[in-house]
Chain A
Amino acid sequence: MAKKTVKKKTEMNIKIETVGIIGAADDELIEISRSRLLSLNLLEMRKIAAHYKKKGRNPTDAELECLAQTWSEHCKHKVFNGIIDYSENGKKELIDNLFKLTIRKATETIRKKRGAKDWCVSVFEDNAGVVEFDDDWHFAFKVETHNHPSALDPYGGANTGIGGVIRDPLGTGLGATPIFNNNIFCFAPPDLPHDKVPKGILHPKRIFKGVVAGVRDYGNRMGIPTINGSLHFDMRYLGNPLVYCGTGGLIPVGKMEKQARKGDLIVAVGGKTGRDGIHGATFSSLELDHESETTSSGAVQIGNPIVEKKAMDVILQARKLDLYDCITDCGAGGFSSAVGEMGKDTGAELQLEKAPLKYGGLAPWEILLSEAQERMVLSVPPKNLAKFMKLCERENVEAVVIGKFTDTKRFVVKYEGRMVADLDMSFLHAGVPRYPRPAVWNTPKHSVPKVPAPANLTARLEKVLSIYNVASKEWVARQYDHEVQGASVLKPFVGADNDGPSDAAVIAPVLGSPRAIVVSNGIAIRYGDIDPYWMAASAIDEAVRNAVAVGADIDRIAILDNFCWGNPDKPDRLGDLVRASRACFDVAVTYGTPFISGKDSFYNEFAVEGDTIAIPSTLLISAAGIITDARKVVSMDFKSAGNLVYALGVTYDELGGSQYYQTLGHIGNDVPKLNAREAKKMYKALGAAIKKGLVRACHDASDGGLAVALAECAFAGALGARIDARLLPRDKNVKTDESLLFSESNSRFIVEVEAGKEDEFAARFKGLPCAKIGEVTDKKRLVVVGLKGKPVVDADIRKLKAAWQSTLAW
């Protein structure tokens, strides 16, 4: 693809090819799909051939490309919506539409149960999920992944990742105003020796730095604060880094309805069309290998935040003036996807020669499919056109009429009068065949450390604090502007020196109102190696408890799912997906936290020397909640000596998948489980206690367990603490100090309570696992007394902080 010569565009030279698929043999169909990078399998190619046989003609190149991208995994989620032939530890069953039976069903169940109190506005329909915020505004939230492009060009890939997800809320309803970004990255360890990096892969440190710079430059230039995120490291992300980017926005109540109408003009707004990003949708449905660099260079997109910022400004003004009926962003699949979606119920006719191009020589199918950035498509009634165009002209934004919506239920594409494509909307959107894929999940067995831990765990705590997954991410967060728009309440870093890790971010986006949005995330990669069910359950719990820790009410938290998986054609990968999705249903329904939007990205595998590295099955859960009064939120740093330290939640013997075991080179088997019913009671109680002003600091225990949580609370507050671990609520199987301090059991918090308010605080947790475990001191030492009554941790908090900060202090 990359070596294709660029012909200068002349009117005579526009090539519209017809592809001979009628009567083609199976191997020819496969070759057509392979050589054109269509990522269509034999079954799908056969269905297309049969469709065209009935029509009595062969498809054009543009039609084939259009079908390939609309039917791509990226757009149609064939795996999630498909049929799965599932076997779990030998027990077999057939699953018809996993997504409908788990994620979507969870939301439907919750909404039904809430009845009149349902606060969802739009779920799984639009470009972002939408919930109620206040009387005037709804809140829209979307998280996307941009993995494959970021593997090839980290800066440009991440750039367009953030640029793309900003356009999602902007293209939701009649347009939401972006108010924050978040981002979560997964990389291979950045200290990997260069000679260990296989051919065709960029070094993980370079990917890391490039991705951070890409997100920074785009987000900062758009004037949108980046308020929340996290970083995770595992060797298996070497060929496939994961780049999750999210954007939240506010949309006026009453601006949600959108529908393109017959006669409306199709207007392209923003960037010009080039060859960039061709085959993005189908490319993300391919496994990468060292050839990817050359075959897929078209998939690299170049972002231009200045163009997007201007387009955004115009759209938000036009929204106020009610100048358009419908809007969507040009993402994967470009015009073909955007116009095809908008005109799904009506029909559309495009005149491709009108599209503004970056340079000549583009074949019509390339213009149709290009994923050039910063483009939005609007449906403008003819009577509003002059006003809309004037607005664009004044703001120096390129806007061009490229067609109109019809009532033919056909998607017709022309180039200077010549037919480029003429597709039935129904075949395009509903024609993709469904077929069963095998999936298997068997309980694995991993090794556990055999050597007993030393009596003093201080050195081990320092080690855990310093590993990449736990260490301070301040080097990254400080490059992002988290203050622009002036709405931040709780920032990414908090405490005496503004360098302690905040559990969640809080912003109060409407000037003069204390009503706020809390944003957090949860991810539990290593647990998936033991059981993806508990990985997913833990990710939801982490996202929710992070929000609860700062003061969110669990009844006003919505969540988003982002699945990044390996090749779903391999039964073990797909088995993981079934396990994880089932946990999503169980936990979300118990918590009452609806999924409002999500995305999946498959084929995250890299072929190297005959072997394939698959990423660990990775589920990111993003949570966003409504806080009625931002003035009541609490941060995680200890505030004053003499205050009491409480622990909430039961510690189990659950070192499986822990960061502690990782430092010892093991995975283990006792993965953290979750009792969602019990946890919910505690979250309600904690939310109420924070609202009442009974909590001075609150921090959740996650990566690194209670030991890390205590250390972080102490050094963030520049205070010490004396803790008696024997007082911790714990399961009878917890028999060692290492298990007590480093287990990553879910649903646990460290809470600081003002001396004198302890009775009032404790009364709220009657019947729940809650215990006073020590007090805050001014000694600058963290002392933890272990099960034998002697200190097992005794460390200067400055030394612990240094261990935590030095790893990523680039």
Chain B
Amino acid sequence: MTTRIEVYIREDLVDAAGEGLIKDIEDLNVKGAKSVRFVRVTEIEGGISKGEARRIASELLSDPVSQRHVIGEVSGPVVDGAWVIEVKFNKGVTDTVADTTLKGIADMGIAGATGAKTSTKVVLRGKISKSDVENIARRLLANSVIQSFSIAKS
């Protein structure tokens, strides 16, 4: 069983990584990007109860003051019409954050987790063509040496 936890900066706060990406998109000469929000995704393998997942999300993976999390649901920043780019590690590439997450889960006294994977979701709002979104993903977000990406419109 896979438990998917998504963590993101509260929508009323500035997402610094997102603001940075907007500037880089302008450098790419792509116009129309209105807002960018980053979502950190953690997928945990193994038998984890809902309560345990809530504890992992709130105590280990997110900062309750500045961040929000969802478990197995669509993240807050994802709104209709937004582009969602998800960047994952290629097979065989060491995912150190996932390794440390697993260790952290065990330290919390939760036994069921057998594996973990992390990825990054970028939610992009604005009038941008699919080819431009692909360009953004390829040139600014995913490094093909170690990562791959997928694009969806919500």
Chain A: minimal CB distance from B98 (Å): 11
Q: Which of A90-133 contact B (CB under 8 A)?
A: none
A-facing mask of B110-147, CB < 8 A → 1, else 0? 00000000000000000000000000000110011110
Given A194-B139, A293-B145, A297-B146, A205 contacting B96 (CB threshold 8 A): no
Q: Which of B24-32, B46-54, B58-66 contacts A (4 or more CB under 8 A)?
A: B24-32
| A190-207 interface code vs B (CB 8 A; 1 in, 0 out) | 010010000000110110
Contact A203 B146 (CB under 8 A): no
Q: How far is the CA of A203 from the CA of B29 in the complex (A)?
A: 13
Flag whether B2 is at the interface (Cβ < 8 A).
no
Could you tell me if B145 and A153 are in contact, using CB atoms closer than 8 angstroms?
yes
Q: Are B145 and A203 in contact (CB under 8 A)?
A: no
Q: Tell me if A194 and B29 are in contact (CB < 8 A).
A: yes
Chain B residues with CB under 8 Å of A359's CB are: 92
For residue A302, which residue of chain B has the nearest CB?
B94
Among A274, A300, A306, the residue within 8 A (CB) of B100 is A306
Query: Are B96 and A306 interface neighbours, CB within 8 A?
Result: yes
Who on chain A is nearest to B30 by CB? A194
B140 touches A6 (CB 8 A): no
Nearest residue in B to A210 (C-beta to C-beta)? B143
CB-CB contacts below 8 Å: B22-40 with A: 23-24, 27-29
How many residues of chain A are within 8 Å of chain B by beta carbon?
Answer: 27
In the complex formed, the residue of A with least CB distance to B143 is: A153
Q: Which of A251-296 contact B (CB under 8 A)?
A: 274-276, 293
* B128–chain A nearest beta-carbon distance, Å: 16
Which residues of the partner chain A approach B94 to less than 8 Å between Cβ atoms?
274, 276, 302, 304, 358, 372
Q: Is A528 part of the binding interface, using a Cβ–Cβ cutoff of 8 Å? A: no
**Given A203-B139, A297-B145, A297-B146, A303 contacting B27 (CB threshold 8 A):** no
A641 to chain B, nearest CB (A): 39
- What 0/1 readout, one digit per residue, does chain B (67-103) give for beta carbons within 8 Å of chain A? 0000000000000000000000000111110011000
Give how many A-B residue pairs fall within 8 Å (CB-CB). 50
> With an 8 A cutoff between CB atoms, is A152 at the interface?
yes
A156 contacts the other chain (CB 8 A): yes
Chain B: minimal CB distance from A586 (Å) = 43
B24 lies within 8 A of A205 (CB) = yes
Q: How far is the CB of A280 from chain B (nearest CB, A)?
A: 14
A156 to B92 Cα, complex, angstroms: 15
Cβ of B109 within 8 Å of any chain A Cβ, yes or no, is no
Q: Please, how many angstroms separate the alpha-carbon atoms of A153 and B146 in the complex? A: 8
A303 / chain B contacts, CB cutoff of 8 Å: 96
Min CB gap B149→A, angstroms: 15
The residue that A302 contacts in the complex, of B96, B140, B144, with Cβ under 8 A, is: B96
Closest B residue to A197 by CB, please name it: B139
| CB nearest neighbor in A for B99 | A304
Q: Are A206 and B140 in contact (CB under 8 A)?
A: yes
CB neighbours of A153 from chain B (8 A): 143, 145-146
When the two chains form the complex, which single residue of A274, A300, A306, A810 contacts B145, counting CB atoms closer than 8 Å?
Answer: A300
Residues of B within 8 Å of A302, CB to CB, are: 93-96, 146
Which one of A155, A194, A276, A810 lies within 8 Å of B28 (CB-CB)? A194
In the complex, what residues of B have CB within 8 A of residue A304's CB?
Answer: 94, 96, 99-100
Q: Which residue of B lies closest to A359 (CB)?
A: B92
- Complex alpha-carbon distance, A155 and B97, angstroms: 14
State the CA gap A293–B99 with chains docked (Å): 26
Q: How far is the CA of A155 from the CA of B120 in the complex (A)?
A: 15
The residues of A that contact B23 with a CB separation of less than 8 Å are 810
Kindly identify, within residues 9 to 25 of chain B, every residue whose CB is under 8 Å from any CB belonging to chain A. 20, 23-24
B92 touching A300, Cβ below 8 Å: no
Residues 390-429 of A, flagged 1 when their CB comes within 8 A of B and 0 if not, give 0000000000000000000000000000000000000000
In contact, A810 and B20 (Cβ under 8 angstroms): yes
Q: Smallest CB-CB separation from B24: which chain A residue? A: A205
Min C-beta distance of A151 to chain B, whole Å: 10
Q: Which single residue of chain A is at the shortest CB-CB distance from B140?
A: A206
- A290–B116 alpha-carbon span in the complex (Å): 33
Contacting residues, chain A, for B144 (C-beta < 8 A): 293
What residues on A are CB-neighbors of B145 within 8 Å? Answer: 152-153, 293, 297, 300
Q: Which of B23, B94, B96 has the most CB of A within 10 A?
A: B94
Residues of B close to A155: CB separation below 8 A = 143
Query: Using Cβ atoms and an 8 Å threshold, which residues of chain B touch A206?
Result: 24, 139-140
CB distance from A359 to the nearest CB of B (A): 7
Q: Considering the chains assembled together, what is the distance between the CA atoms of A499 and B96 in angstroms?
A: 35
Q: Which chain A positions have C-beta within 8 A of B140? A: 206
Of chain A, the residue at the smallest CB distance from B95 is A302
Residue of B with least CB distance to A303: B96
Q: A203-B139, A205-B27, A206-B139 are in contact. Are A6 and B146 (CB under 8 A)?
A: no
The one of B92, B95, B100, B146 that contacts A275, using a Cβ cutoff of 8 Å: B92
Given contacts A194-B29, A810-B20, A810-B23, whether A202 and B96 have CB atoms under 8 Å apart is no
Q: Contacts of A194 on B, CB cut-off 8 Å?
A: 27-29, 139
Q: Which B residues are in CB contact (< 8 Å) with A191?
A: 27
Complex Cα gap A300–B146 (Å)? 8
Complex Cα spacing A6 to B29, Å = 41
Q: Which residues of B contact A205 (CB under 8 A)?
A: 24, 27
How near does chain B come to A374, taking the closest CB pair, in angstroms? 10
Among the interface residues A6, A155, A202, A303, which one has the most CB atoms of the partner chain B within 10 A? A202
Which B residues are in CB contact (< 8 Å) with A297? 145-146
Inside 8 A of B100's CB, which chain A residues have their CB? Answer: 304, 306
B contact residues around A156 at 8 Å (CB): 146
Chain B neighbourhood of A306, CB < 8 A: 96, 100
Q: List 16 interface pairs A-B (beta carbons < 8 Å), by A numbering.
A: A152-B145, A194-B27, A194-B28, A194-B29, A205-B27, A206-B139, A274-B94, A297-B145, A302-B146, A303-B96, A304-B96, A304-B99, A307-B96, A359-B92, A372-B94, A810-B23
Minimum-distance CB pairs A-B, first 3? A304-B96, A302-B94, A297-B145
Please give 20 more A-B residue pairs, beta carbons under 8 A apart, in addition to A152-B143, A206-B139, A302-B96: A6-B92, A156-B146, A194-B29, A203-B139, A205-B24, A205-B27, A274-B94, A276-B94, A300-B93, A300-B145, A302-B93, A302-B94, A304-B96, A304-B99, A304-B100, A306-B96, A306-B100, A307-B96, A359-B92, A810-B23
**Which chain B residues have a beta carbon within 8 Å of chain A's beta carbons?**
20, 23-24, 27-29, 92-96, 99-100, 139-140, 143-146
